Amino acid sequence: MNDQRDLTLIIRSRFPIVLIETHEETRVMTLLEQVARLEGQGLFVWSAADGLQRRDNPLAAAPGSYSVSSVQRGPYGKGPIADTLAIGGALKHIYATNFNGMYVLVDVHPYLEDPVHQRLLKSIAQDYARVPRTLVLVAPRLNLPEDLLRLAARFELKLPDTAAMRELIDREAREAIRFGGNISDDPEAVTLISQHLVGLCMEDARRLVRQCLTEDGRITLQDVSRVLRAKQEKLGAGGAVQMELGVAQLGDVAGLANLKRWLAQRRAAFVGDAAAMGLEPPKGVLLLGVQGGGKSLAAKAVAGAWHLPLLRLDFGSLFDKWLGETERKLREALKFADSMAPCVLWMDEIEKGIAPGGAADGGESRRLLGTLLTWMAERTSKVFMVATANDIEHLPPELIRKGRFDEVFFVDLPDGATRMEIFRVHLSRRKLDPAKFDLAKLADATDGFSGAEIEQAIVSGLYEAHASGRPLNTVHVLTESVRTRPLSVVMAEKIASLRAWAAERTVPAN
């Protein structure tokens, strides 16, 4: 991470305007001072509160630039240059002076829509060959008209990496001990939090670490969710991606033994340093299967088992009537997922978002698919993608070919042993003792039921038991099971077709 080298290269490339979008103003000013000193250039800073002032050496001023007696002393030891408190006056002064150097305009974004200010910026930039003055615009967001963008270069502060965040945690822990604290930590929690802090600036990360240490003197796995919530609030998801905090564990998912084994083998490579293990980090899986079979629960369980944030991409919120807006929203959603890495990105019923629509949607679905495939191929961030789908007929071949996902699993209807396990899980979740039920008989009676349908039989049985004034028993659940026509009966032909397609094209999840 060498911000000084990169910024120096831009300055030496003689761009008249440099754009820096950031919330870390203090860090930027320190960097600009270093570059100005190494390049032997004067450094001037303007803000709406202080006007234009020289920052690199307040005692050395350009001849005739300052009116010391007529202005109040500023924070850098010298008062602002006369008539430069307003942005217009500052720009006129910069354009009129022959004193070259770097002129930094802080929080200038509210003034950039004024045509007079745009004209002054353009005049200064076009005059660069005569007087090499570099305008550095610093603000959280900068939008310039196209003719000014052609004269500008963007500089982006690099965010601290995982190693820097680990050093931050160690440093803050040592500092707490020095002042009488008794700090202890969990190595796995420290590793996860170091990874999750990536994407935040150093000051935001430092505050979060101090908050974790102050509460109980420890860094624990319980602090992971706090860090993730704070990171989501600071980065913002933009509506299309939502964080699911109520994730499940693999133990909450009945069956799916092959999928669980596959995930267990790859956890260390994804959470840890895959390169050091001589491995490539896993990319993701596609879960294809019958509706209600547990695909969504499995996606949640991946995040829970790996102690990672679960992000859900809502395709419905992406679509926009304006041309190009849908793809832009998807790009922003994927960028947010990258910033939250390491994480699990869950795309539920993916076929509904990228199903080929032909001319009916103006090619929008194809463009969405192209954007998604490009991201899947080029991403370097640790984003484990879990896509679920119910309808193979609408899955484009480009998505399911080998290489897009590490594996395509088929989640079939549960067998007898799995149905018993599903009953056990749902009864226990409702604080009912599974030993008081004839699970074998219930499993036999629900042949062809999905996990969701089994759960609903228990829910309906509870209503029946409540109405009769008795506790839930096997008979109540059996009665409701007999009344139910499962999806495997209602849509028998479609499910049979799905099973036939998946038999030799996918890996059984169970």
CA nearest neighbour of 22 among 34, 33, 31, 11: 31
Q: What is the C-alpha separation between 78 and 71, in angstroms, rounded?
A: 9
Are 393 and 264 found together in one domain?
yes
Closest among 410, 439, 440, 415 to 427, alpha carbons compared? 439
DSSP secondary structure letter of residue 486: -
SS3 (DSSP) at 72: coil
Q: Looking at the structure, do residues 288 and 400 belong to the same domain, yes or no?
A: yes
Q: SS3 of 343, please? A: strand
Number of domains the chain contains: 4
- DSSP category for residue 447: T
Average pLDDT over residues 398-405: 80
Q: Phi, psi (5° rounding) for residue 272? A: -95, -150
- Tens of pLDDT, residues 8-28: 999 999 999 999 998 888 889
Q: Tokens 């899980």 belong to which residue?
A: 425
Look up residue 282 and give its DSSP letter. Answer: P
pLDDT value of residue 60? 42
Position with higher pLDDT, 498 vs 64: 498
Considering only 249-253, 377-381, 476-480, which range has the smallest mean pLDDT?
Answer: 249-253
87 and 12 co-located in one domain: yes
Quote the pLDDT of residue 67.
37
Q: Secondary structure of 80-141 in the HEC alphabet?
A: CCCCCCCHHHHHHHHHHCCCCEEEEEECCHHHCCCHHHHHHHHHHHHCCCCCCEEEEEEECC
pLDDT above 80: residue 466: yes
Q: Residues 397-401: what's their mean pLDDT?
A: 79
* Position 245 in a domain: no
Q: What CATH number is associated with residue 225?
A: 1.10.8
Are 406 and 439 part of one and the same domain?
no
* 3-state helix, strand and coil shares in percent for the chain, rounded to the nearest 5: 50, 15, 35
Q: Where are the beta strands (DSSP E) in 155-226?
A: 184-185, 218-219
* 395 shares a domain with 301: yes
CB–CB of 284/385 below 8 Å?
Answer: yes
DSSP assignment of 286-322:
EEEE-TTSSHHHHHHHHHHHHT--EEEE-GGGT--SS
In this prediction, residue 357 carries a pLDDT of 55
Residue 62 confidence (pLDDT): 43
List the CATH number of the domain containing 459. Answer: 1.10.8.60
Tokens coding 270 = 């994804």
Residues 436, 401, single domain; the answer is: no
Whole-angstrom distance, CA of residue 201 vs CA of residue 33: 20
SS3 state at 74: coil
The packing angle between helices 162-178 and 202-216, to 10°, is 40
Is the per-residue pLDDT at 342 higher than 70?
A: yes
pLDDT at 183: 61
Query: Is the pTM of the predicted complex or chain greater than 0.85?
Result: no
Q: What are the angstrom distances between the C-alpha of 208 and each of 181, 213, 221, 226?
A: 17, 9, 14, 9
Q: Three-state SS across 137-167?
A: EEECCCCCCHHHHCCEEECCCCCCCHHHHHH
pLDDT tens for 481-492 read 888 888 888 888
Distance CA 75, CA 77 (A): 6
Write down how long the chain is: 510
406 and 301 in a common domain: yes
Q: Kindly state the percentage of the chain with pLDDT values over 90.
A: 28
* For the ranges 276-290, 416-430, 492-506, the one whose mean pLDDT is highest: 416-430
- Res. 441: pLDDT tops 50: yes
- Look at residue 231 and tell me whether its pLDDT is greater than 70: yes
Q: What does the pLDDT look like over 98-131, one tens digit per residue?
A: 888 999 999 999 999 999 999 999 999 999 999 9
Which residues, other chains included, contact 247 with Cβ-Cβ below 8 Å and sequence gap of 6+? Answer: 300, 301, 303, 304, 310
DSSP state of 13: T
Instruction: Give the per-residue pLDDT at 382.
Output: 87
Please report, for the domain that includes residue 115, its CATH number: 3.40.50
pLDDT confidence band for 279 (50 / 70 / 90) = confident
Same structural domain, 229 and 149: no
- Domain range for residue 92? 3-154
Mean pLDDT check: name the lowest of 4-8, 236-240, 285-289, 368-372.
236-240
Q: Are residues 141 and 171 in the same domain?
A: no
Give the residue-averaged pLDDT of 35-43: 91
Burial of 265 (0-12, 13-18, 19+ CB in 10 A): exposed
Is the bond preceding residue 342 a cis peptide, omega within 30 degrees? yes
Among 154, 179, 201, the domain-final residue is 154
Q: What is the pLDDT of residue 184?
A: 66
Q: Who has greater pLDDT, 200 or 322? A: 200
List Cα–Cα distances, 102 to 113, 135, 164, in angstroms.
23, 6, 30
Helix (H) or strand (E) holding 463: helix 451-468
Higher pLDDT, residue 320 or 326: 326
Kindly tell me if the per-residue pLDDT of 70 is higher than 50. no
Q: Which pLDDT does position 213 carry in this prediction? A: 83
Q: What is the per-residue pLDDT for 392?
A: 75
The pLDDT of residue 61 = 42
Top mean-pLDDT range of 92-96, 255-259, 428-432, 493-497: 92-96
Report the DSSP beta bridge partners of residue 386.
285, 346
Q: Is the pLDDT of residue 294 over 60?
A: yes
Question: Positive or negative, the Cα torsion across 158, 164, 166, 168?
Answer: negative
Is residue 363 very low, low, confident or very high in pLDDT (cuts 50, 70, 90)? Answer: low
Task: Give a yes or no: residue 170 inside a domain.
Answer: yes
The residues near 60 (Cβ < 8 Å, ≥ 6 apart) are: 54
- Sign, CA dihedral 365-371-374-379, equals negative
55: in domain:
yes
Rg of the Cα trace of the chain? 30
Domain boundary among 97, 128, 154: 154
CA separation, residue 227 to residues 198, 273, 299 (Å): 11, 21, 21
Report if residue 507 sits inside a domain.
no
Across the range 340-354, mean pLDDT stands at 82
Q: Looking at the structure, do residues 189 and 104 belong to the same domain, yes or no?
A: no
Of all residues in the chain, the percent with pLDDT exceeding 70 is 88
Whole-number Å distance between alpha carbons of 285 and 106: 46
pLDDT of residue 228: 78
Assigned token pair, 500 = 């036939």
- pLDDT at residue number 78: 56
391 with 431, same domain: the answer is no
Q: Quick one: pLDDT band at residue 69, thresholds 50, 70, 90?
A: very low
Mean pLDDT of the chain: 82
Mean pLDDT of 300-311: 82
How are beta strands 284-289 and 407-411 bridged, if at all? parallel
